[in-house]
Structure 1
Amino acid sequence: MMPLKSLKHLNTFSITAHAVDVISVDSVNILIEAFRNTKNLKLPFIFLGSGSNVLFLEDFLGVVLLNQIKGLSYTESETDWHLHVGAGENWHELVCYTLQHNILGLENLALIPGSVGAAPIQNIGAYGVEFDQICEYVDLLDPCTADCQRLSRKDCRFGYRDSIFKHYYKTCFVIAVGIKLKKCWVPKLDYGDLKKLDPFKVTAKEIFDFVCAIRRNKLPNPLLIGNAGSFFKNPQVDRDTAALMIKNYPDLVYYPQADGTVKLAAGWLIDQCHLKGYTIGGAAVHDRQALVLINKNHASSQDILDLARHVYQKVAFTFSVYLEPEVRFISAEGEINPMAVLS
């Protein structure tokens, strides 16, 4: 069976690719039915939200199930706000909604592209805040059994751009998330340019506007230039390795972690390899933010892959640090380990 449905509008890289079918699912019942039909046809399947964190390496010889499960409600206790959000909601629109209702705490996570359902899987984060810190629970559907279960924050086993969902629940569908935000709001200003703001006067709306301005200045709009945001994770190294690198590179951008490791700024490493603006085919390293690979001129998936491999190899050769993609790689049969094709 030849692929029929275009995926170009379903991935923010705007890569030309196709699938056998694309099915929008806006309820649990429709999801279960679509999943069972796909299994009966013996076709592979993938779950997709807004396509803001995927690279289709080729045509996908299966069915794409689009998460369109919506809904947003909240309750409050004496000390906290409790939000219940459908996985198909847009993340940035959620952030805007909370501010409009004077529910504070998500402002650092403004303008992160993607759906709410992707937030726990990826443990999204920006400007000193990660989803891990505000997650109360994640609701999952196992389409094989039609069973739903609720995982607590602890059960999710969050790590840096990691969670249990990447390892044990790959065939389960995130249908909703619970978010807990404290009413006693304290601004998070200990990351990057946010340190310039006055912690005693700043408002959540001012943080939101500041973050949006930074992101719009540094990051290309995927509606105008195809990209998937940060292509690589910030690598973490042990303390001794970091100490040696700091000695050799006094300007190294790094962030000590609570577990004793040190997180390095992948964008800085790439920039030091003089790769900003570097092109392969139609793909390029963004000229303002080296961590972002862009579809500059009708790039193919192979162009993006070749560029990513070149960046990986240059950083490895220069610093003996091995970058790991944050972006999901999708082959003809489904998601694959990106390191298998980069290293």
Structure 2
Amino acid sequence: MISLKPYNSFGIEVQAHHVIHLHSLELLEHLSDIRQTKILGGGTNILFTKDIIDPIIKVEMNGLEVLVENEEDVLVRIGAGQNWHATVMWALDHNYGGIENLSLIPGTVGAAPVQNIGAYGVEIKDVLEWIEGFDLESSTFKKLNRAECLMGYRDSIFKNSLKNKFIITHVILRLSKKHQLNLEYGIIKEVLLQKNISYPNIRQISEAVIQIRRSKLPDPNEIGNAGSFFKNVNIPEDQHHELKSRFPQMPAYHLPDGTYKIASGWLIEYCGWKGKRIGNVACYEKQALVIVNCGDATGQEILYFSQQVIDSVFQIFGITLQPEVNIW
């Protein structure tokens, strides 16, 4: 048996029967007999709740190469095991824009499209061109373009019909050489103004994002967590109107489709969970969306805690929170 504690940012101690470290395409040819498996990236967005019987394929493909470059942009092919934040830093070093708002998001490049990672007005689908990978069911290499990945809010085909059936080996991004800055979120503007920066470049935006994230999110090297445990929620206009009449201070963002995005962290905090601890599990004192492992919590303890939060929010607001974290 193999301990998975080093492979998850929650620091949960569970065991696996078999872990395959995938660091080359050649190894994929030997996986044709495997049908039941689980695919693991950096382990920064996962909650282990039990020992894993199925073989785990840990994707560790590295490498980064420029495929095509012109005056406007550049196509970059990145190994799925590459660290995401290191990739953002590489892009900044080469003055390539498009992912600076996604600075300091933990995890690997291959996991980024699975979750369709996003922050401060930007999602990876905004720059994704295609995915390269291995279909375990047909034992063939395949390429999926952005549309085929069916990417939504913290969602993709890899969390649904292709879950644990498709190994992402490489991610191809189109990064810009003529930068279009995204300052949609006011907090980024506030941090930049504090630094007397009126016309920021992509590195300054990245530095602002890093400052913001570090101010409200715990370092998983110091306290076990997987970032935001819950997704924000979208509600229809009539439900928003009803809730706003009862909770006028509730922040909401009107979306183009007519729905309203509600900050789940605010709902959780209103229900009194921010900073609340039960046993070895707590809602982080600086950000209610984050559930932390205060000691030697089990995955089941964290799962139970999260369900209590879900029940509490539903009882008061009639809204059912959905986990952003993948639960195994």
Give the Cα separation in 1 of the matches to 2:278 and 2:12: 15
Aligned counterpart, 2:297: 299
Report the CA distance between 1:228 and its aligned residue: 0.5
Describe the shift of the 1:103–1:138 C-alpha distance in structure 2 as closer, same or farther (beyond 3 A): same
Q: Secondary structure at the match of 2:225?
A: strand
In the other structure, the counterpart of 1:7 is 4
Q: Measure how far apart 1:183 and its partner are.
A: 2.2
CA contact (8 A) 2:64 2:79 kept: yes
Partner of 2:187: 193
Deviates more, 1:173-182 or 1:219-228: 173-182
**After alignment, is 173-182 or 251-260 more displaced?**
251-260
1:1-343 counterparts in 2 under 5 A?
Answer: 4-33=1-30, 35-36=31-32, 38-39=34-35, 44-74=36-66, 75-170=68-163, 171-196=165-190, 197=192, 201-330=199-328
Q: Percent identity at matched positions?
A: 40
The runs of 5 or more residues in structure 2 that have no matched partner are none
Report the CA distance between 1:133 and its aligned residue: 0.8
Contact 1:142/1:173 (8 A) holds in 2: yes
* Stretch moving more, 137-146 or 227-236: 137-146
* 1:38 Cα deviation after fit: 4.4
2 CA distance for matches of 1:77 and 1:232?
40
Query: How far did residue 270 of structure 1 move?
Result: 0.4
CA contact (8 A) 2:95 2:177 kept: no
Q: Secondary structure at the match of 1:61?
A: coil
- Structure 1 residue 77, shift from structure 2 partner: 2.1
CA deviation digits over 1:62-87, x for unaligned, max 9? Answer: 21111001110123123212111111
Dislocated runs of 4+, deviation >4 Å:
none
Kept in 2, the 8 Å contact 1:218–1:288? The answer is: yes
Q: State the 1:212 CA deviation.
A: 0.5
Mapped to 1, the partners of 2:257 and 2:27 lie a distance apart of 43
Aligned equivalents of 1:327 and 1:192: distance in 2?
26
Residues 150, 189 of structure 1: alpha-carbon distance in 2 compared, 3 angstrom cutoff: same
TM-score by length of 2: 0.94
Q: In the aligned structure 1, how far is the partner of 2:147 from the partner of 2:33? A: 34
Cα distance in structure 2, aligned partners of 1:239 and 1:84: 41
Q: Which moved more, 1:285-294 or 1:76-85?
A: 76-85
Q: Give 3-state SS (helix, strand or coil) of 2:205's partner.
A: helix
Give the 3-state SS of the residue equivalent to 1:209 in structure 2: helix
TM-score, normalising length: structure 1? 0.90
- After superposition, the CA RMSD in angstroms is 1.5
Amino acid at match of 1:261: T
Shifted more, 70-79 versus 196-205: the winner is 196-205
Shift of 1:191: 1.3
Letter in 2 for 1:136: E
Contact 1:32/1:143, CA 8 A, preserved across alignment = no
- Across the two proteins, how many residue pairs are aligned to each other? 322
**Could you tell me whether the CA contact under 8 Å between 2:28 and 2:134 is conserved in 1?**
no
> Structure 1 residues 278 and 209, CA, compared in 2 at 3 Å: closer, same or farther?
same
Q: Shift of residue 37 of structure 1?
A: 5.5
**SS of corresponding position for 1:229:** strand
Partner AA of 2:166 in structure 1: C
Shift of 1:243: 2.1
